[in-house]
């Protein structure tokens, strides 16, 4: 992100305040969060923020319909990351916390298509793995199977 943003730009960090939004504030950027908004019930509510850039790091997999949020974002630039669907693991679910579970885990092409349908064009993207020191077949697969996907996108003209 650092190469793509200016110091005087504002950021809508979709989701609750987190260490990354705190870091951005410490860097002198103006950061807004969507704390208290149910983006499934009112995706258009992100449109009330008029920020230069929107970020959504590991947020869209929790939403039932992320398309509405993508369309409602007023920013012209977007940085977003998601966990990728893994053929050897089911979607994450915390049975004790309904907000801490994934409704979607996308393949990269599915997320690219969602962004396109939401009015975005991808500028660049990257995938990375999530190795762990636990023994077993799945941890071995995680050494070389990409788990996360990040995208920089611009609003289509």
pLDDT at 36: 87
**Which fold would CATH assign to domain 2-155?**
Rossmann fold (3.40.50)
| Token pair belonging to 49 | 């923020």
| Token pair belonging to 103 | 């409704």
pLDDT at 98: 74
SS (H, E, C) the chain: CHHHCCCCCEEEECCCCCHHHHHHHHCCCEEEECCCCCCCCCHHHHHHCCCCEEEEECCHHHCCCHHHHHHHCCCCEEEEEEEECCCCCCCCECCCCCCCECCCCECHHHHHHHHHHCCEEEEEEEEECCCCCCCCHHHHHHHHCCCEEEEEEEECC
| Token pair belonging to 111 | 């997320």
Strand partners, 12: 32, 54
Per-residue pLDDT tens listing for the chain (157 residues)? 878 888 889 999 999 899 999 999 998 899 999 988 899 999 999 999 999 999 999 999 989 999 999 999 999 999 999 999 877 777 787 888 877 787 888 999 999 999 999 999 999 999 999 888 888 888 888 788 899 999 999 999 8
């Amino acid at each position: 992100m650092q190469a793509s943003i200016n110091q005087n730009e504002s950021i809508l960090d979709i989701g609750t305040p987190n260490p990354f939004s705190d870091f951005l504030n410490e860097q002198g950027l103006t950061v807004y969060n969507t704390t208290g908004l149910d983006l499934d019930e009112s995706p258009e509510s992100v449109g009330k923020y008029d920020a230069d850039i929107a970020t959504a790091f590991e947020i869209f997999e929790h939403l039932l319909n992320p398309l509405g949020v993508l369309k409602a974002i007023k920013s012209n630039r977007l940085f977003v990351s998601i966990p990728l669907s893994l053929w050897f693991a089911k979607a994450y679910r915390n049975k004790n916390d309904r907000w801490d579970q994934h409704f979607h885990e996308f393949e990269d092409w599915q997320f690219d298509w969602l962004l396109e349908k939401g009015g975005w064009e991808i500028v660049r993207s990257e995938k990375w793995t999530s190795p762990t020191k636990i023994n077993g077949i799945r941890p071995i697969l995680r050494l070389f199977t990409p788990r996360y996907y990040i995208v920089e996108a611009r609003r289509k003209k």
